[in-house]
Structure 1
Amino acid sequence: MPYADDVAVHQLVEERAARSPLAVAVSCDGQSLTYDQLNARANQLARHLMNHGVTAGRLVAVCMERGVDMMVALLGVLKAGAGYAPLDADYPAERLNFMMRDIRASLLITHSHLRERLDNVGPVPQVLIDHDWSAISAHDSADLPPQAGPDDLAYIIYTSGSTGTPKGVMIQHRSLSNRLQEMARRYELTSEDRTLQFASISFDAAAEQIFPTLMSGGRLLMRGSDNWSPSRVLAEIREQKITVAELTPALWEQVIPHLDSGKEFGGQFRLMVLGGEQVSPVSVNAWFQRTSVPIYNTYGPTEATITATSCYIEKAEEKVL
């Protein structure tokens, strides 16, 4: 389908912020930002990064605890024209060192309390988003003119690689914008949706959970840094009135038996998205014995920009595509 894929994802979020400035954009562990606050803070961070020499074609490493500041960081990097490279602070030091050397990051965004874990990543300039916020917030909060074009880098995601050596996959703005506009359409996202953001940003599925919702004016509810049990996943969907969630099939299969306890998702929950692993017909049948919520079964290598294929499932099937 034709999309305006010369318009970057962060520009589509800017457009939504202009239309719905007071709507809540993202929530995590009791903290929330409206669209206006999220967009303004990302603009300030972008200008701060540009003052540190960040430009189109450069890569900025992002190693942060999960929370609303993480969304500010991702949007800020994109607005500055650079691509983001997400790093998981819990990765072994050897892997972090390899990734930092490999991407030749021009800068690292992190939190003060994570500095000790990152002491050995090399002499890379750092922005401590909590410690440096007074300086960051002094910048203009207005939208910037586009700093990167459709063919510039949006992000780099590391996979394990077939040989076990981490392999960086580079994705351009045009590909990301095209894919996420399609996902927003396919999932029929609107400003009424409340989407669960569950995946680590070190996986490309996170982008599919984050940006289509923000482009559509919905509310992103982020899992914090703690791990959630299957029963908690069910409880959070019900109590936070989440309408759309994306899980790995392995976790989803563990959620299914908890529906037998008499607890339900709630009438607002309308779509489960699965991706990353094979989906069993037995589990699909068990799901539809307990709920009528449809499933999108998705698949795609990182190189193909998150999701290359999807199959809509609304009843028990002998074979799952």
Structure 2
Amino acid sequence: MIKESGWSANPVPARSSAEVAPRHADLVHEVIARHPDDAPALGTDDALVTYGELHARSNRLAHHLRATGVRRGDLVAVLLPRGVDGIVSVLAALTAGAAYLPIDAGYPPQRVRHMLTDSRARVLVTVRSLVRPDLVVPGTPVVLLDDDRATLAAYPDGPPAVPVGPGDLAYVIYTSGSTGLPKGVMVEHGSLRGLAGWRADAERLGPDDRCLHLFSPGFDASVWDIWAPLVAGASLWLPDEETRVDPDRLVDWLAAHAITSATLPTPLAEAVLTRPTPPDWALRILGAGGQQLLARPRPEHTFTTVNLYGPTEATVLAMAGEVAVEGDGPPSLGLPAAGAVIRLLADDLRPVPAGSLGEVFIGGPGVARGYHDRPALTAERFPPDPYGPPGSRLYRTGDLARQLPDGTYHFAGRVDDQVKLHGHRIELGEIESVLLRHPDVRAAAVGLHQGTAGPRLVGYVVPEAGPDDAALAEHAARSLPATMVPAAWVRLAALPLTPHGKLDRAALPAPAERVGEAPRDDLERRVAQVWADVLGQSPNRDDNFFALGGHSLRATMVAVRLRERFGLPVSAAIVFEAQTVAAMAERLRAELASAPAREEDVRTAADPDPVPRDGGPPAPGRVLSFAQQRLWFLHTLDPKSTAYNTQTAWHIDGELDLDHLDTAIGEIIHRHEVLRTTFTEHNGVPLQIAQPPTTHHSTRHDLTHLDPHHHDHHVRDVLRAELDTPFDLATGPLLRSHILQLTDTAHVLCLTWHHIVLDGWSVGLFHTELNHLYTDLT
């Protein structure tokens, strides 16, 4: 049945792999070329990119990739935040005949380096601010979109003539690995084109549609986000980072931007379903995917809610179903989608009786090629389909389900130790292997515990001595994404084992449940409601914010809401300093009592006299920007942290006047107050103070006496030591420079700064200005 919303339970089938055009990026360029050049393609709060601009930018980058040596079948790694540049880059990779490897810019350096090394990516596309010495893989060229603008602009706007067929590789996405290392899933063009066409048909997408792009690049749902709207000629719209995680802000944003189709992680979709529908909402389709959907739409909702199910190994989607307003129990997974074949099989690969529980095996055109360089694992997880045509294969999901009388499927859990949390599929073994690398941990296990506070990962450790919870979490966060760091810890004398000597996960004890009394008064209740809005669960007055799943981003969200509700200059520090509802309410009570004086302090700080440029005494401080506040408070929690140290290094060939170079750097610092700014606190308000200019001196290293073969080693040592040296935000300086002389005509200039004063975009301007100033001096 086709509903007015535009969702079709049985859409027109997408074209088969054999029908896909065999030229260029066969899922996109065959249709983008037909879209009007002035039609909107990508939109943010600050910019709009037309299809003509998208086409031209991606084609120029594709030519540049070809010039660096990229050929058909190669892999192009894209390390960029969710945004316009990322979409341009993955499209360029396909246009160049290559496949793309999306890497989340928030991943720890060790994970990024493993992905680059394991995949043997032919080239890395990124920006200067994200390049660190410990990420660079020898022999892998790096394309810097910010540094290479002039080079890219010189290439033709038309696409390079590279033939690409449905069996060619389209992308590789790394998922959690059971052996402790993430594994790359290889998906071909035919599978990707089939998915994009199926969604475009099922949602009846067209040029008038405005589709949400919310998922991070390294998550396979980004594939669903991006390609179907572009195939259909619709426009993609990207909210900012704060909006994309806040249900209330997201609802308002969807309404303000007239979004017609939005797919969200299941927990966020469930939160949106509880919010009132704005009267001017244009939304037709709300998709939910990543884990079991428990909520249902309300009768007043004018959009269609769709439950989506599928693993990375089956090209994102295998089942889909419209969610009814009423029903018994959780919504089903729906019916097979995008040409998928669903088989419920027993351990011996025989079909289970009708209505019985079986493991979900997925067949059809969406089945991935396999795991990159993992033939044994590929053979295990992608067995031949004994009930399909010759040569057909299945993917063994590890999910349990049963088929209901109406033909839909009901999810019933997992058969292995892979779990889903907040929309992410996680191999517990990967987390365990990281914990075992801690020198004071003799044994480790990880489990997913469903408690009164909701699902959370629990780390079980058998320690030698210590470490405390904070040390364990910090150790895990160095190698794992935030979604894979355990939220609770249990120490054991020994791990429970089965009679066969294997870990007995069923015998792992549950972590201590939270206990406490309800909020006592109106102020505590109002604070608890803010927590509930952000965390998705109602806290007691003595509950710890971080024990309930809070983190720095959610702390920022709490601060924003407290500012809005109480009219106070509340910062994220209050969450780190007053971690319970009771303590936070007490802090706010004191703030409210002195509100007039505090507001005057802020007005004075926000409107300072001009900062003197003549070396006079510093003017009154300015209040920090929202982003600076977060970085400042994180620094106060751990002054020795180097997490926000950023570095760039430039090779300089030819004779170099070191004194003139120092003078040029000093002039830039003189011109830009932020580069000589320090950060302090006045009456509880963090302020930035521009210090008087001084003569700049770089630290110099003479390596001319060393064997040239050892230069790279010594340069890396200096750069690494400098990156690992913390900054003092209160005393500064927050920009340091080192000049390493290799020979009479070869030098390396290294700049290291704290992210609170300089971002990646500004580094390009710094480089340009430095070139001009040095040239003028010489």
- Is TM more than 0.5 here? yes
8 Å Cα contact 2:113-2:134 kept in structure 1: no
1:135-154 matched pairs, under 5 angstroms? 135-154=151-170
Structure 1 residues 149, 303: closer, same or farther in 2, change over 3 A?
Answer: same
Structure 1 residues 265, 143: closer, same or farther in 2, change over 3 A?
Answer: farther
Separation of aligned partners in 2, 1:183 and 1:234: 23
| Matched residue, 1:278 | 292
Report the CA distance between 1:69 and its aligned residue. 1.3
Separation of aligned partners in 2, 1:270 and 1:293: 4
Question: Which structure has the greater CA radius of gyration?
Answer: 2
Separation of aligned partners in 1, 2:119 and 2:239: 28
Letter in 2 for 1:305: T
8 Å Cα contact 1:46-1:79 kept in structure 2: yes
Report the CA distance between 1:7 and its aligned residue. 2.8
SS at match of 1:258: coil
Structure 1 counterpart of 2:272, from 255, 260, 273: 255
* Structure ranking higher in helix proportion: 1
SS at match of 1:20: coil
1:14-163 matched pairs, under 5 angstroms? 14=29, 15-116=31-132, 119-123=134-138, 124-163=140-179
Q: Relative contact order (C-alpha < 8 Å, sep 6+): which is higher? A: 1
8 Å Cα contact 1:10-1:78 kept in structure 2: yes
8 Å Cα contact 2:77-2:101 kept in structure 1: yes
1:140-174 C-alpha deviation (Å, 9 max, x unpaired):
11133234221111000011134443111000111
Separation of aligned partners in 2, 1:139 and 1:148: 21
Structure 1 residues 29, 13: closer, same or farther in 2, change over 3 A?
Answer: same
Separation of aligned partners in 1, 2:301 and 2:280: 10
Report the CA distance between 1:65 and its aligned residue. 2.2
Q: TM-score, normalised by structure 2?
A: 0.39
Are 1:292 and 2:302 counterparts?
Answer: yes
Q: Which runs of 5+ in 1 are unaligned?
A: none
Report the CA distance between 1:87 and its aligned residue. 0.8
Structure 1 residues 243, 297: closer, same or farther in 2, change over 3 A?
Answer: same
1:102-127 C-alpha deviation (Å, 9 max, x unpaired):
101111000111113x6434222100
Structure 1 residues 257, 180: closer, same or farther in 2, change over 3 A?
Answer: same
Separation of aligned partners in 2, 1:16 and 1:153: 20
Report the CA distance between 1:46 and its aligned residue. 0.4
8 Å Cα contact 2:26-2:193 kept in structure 1: no
SS at match of 2:167: coil
Q: Which runs of 5+ in 2 are unaligned?
A: 1-12, 333-778
8 Å Cα contact 1:47-1:80 kept in structure 2: yes
Separation of aligned partners in 1, 2:71 and 2:172: 16
Structure 2 counterpart of 1:205, from 221, 228, 232: 221
Letter in 2 for 1:149: G
1:236-289 C-alpha deviation (Å, 9 max, x unpaired):
100011000000111112223332xxx517341111011111011xx11xx224
Letter in 2 for 1:3: R
SS at match of 1:288: coil
Structure 1 counterpart of 2:253, from 228, 236, 257: 236
Report the CA distance between 1:292 and its aligned residue. 3.2
SS at match of 1:18: coil
8 Å Cα contact 1:40-1:141 kept in structure 2: yes
8 Å Cα contact 1:80-1:147 kept in structure 2: no
SS at match of 2:306: strand
Separation of aligned partners in 1, 2:59 and 2:235: 20
Letter in 1 for 2:259: I
Structure 1 residues 254, 188: closer, same or farther in 2, change over 3 A?
Answer: same
Structure 1 residues 67, 249: closer, same or farther in 2, change over 3 A?
Answer: same
1:293-312 matched pairs, under 5 angstroms? 293-312=303-322
- What is the RMSD of the two structures over their aligned residues, measured on CA atoms? 1.9
Are 1:3 and 2:15 counterparts?
Answer: yes
Separation of aligned partners in 1, 2:176 and 2:266: 20
Separation of aligned partners in 1, 2:188 and 2:121: 17
8 Å Cα contact 1:26-1:34 kept in structure 2: yes
Separation of aligned partners in 1, 2:45 and 2:278: 22
SS at match of 1:57: coil
Report the CA distance between 1:92 and its aligned residue. 1.3
- % identical aligned pairs: 36
Separation of aligned partners in 2, 1:62 and 1:132: 15
Report the CA distance between 1:314 and its aligned residue. 4.1
Letter in 2 for 1:187: E
Separation of aligned partners in 1, 2:264 and 2:179: 26
Report the CA distance between 1:317 and its aligned residue. 2.2
Letter in 2 for 1:275: G
Structure 1 counterpart of 2:190, from 174, 185, 189: 174
1:42-90 C-alpha deviation (Å, 9 max, x unpaired):
1110000000000111111101122211111010000001111111121
8 Å Cα contact 1:66-1:223 kept in structure 2: no
1:281-302 C-alpha deviation (Å, 9 max, x unpaired):
xx11xx2244131111111111
The answer to which of 177-186 and 43-52 deviates more is 177-186
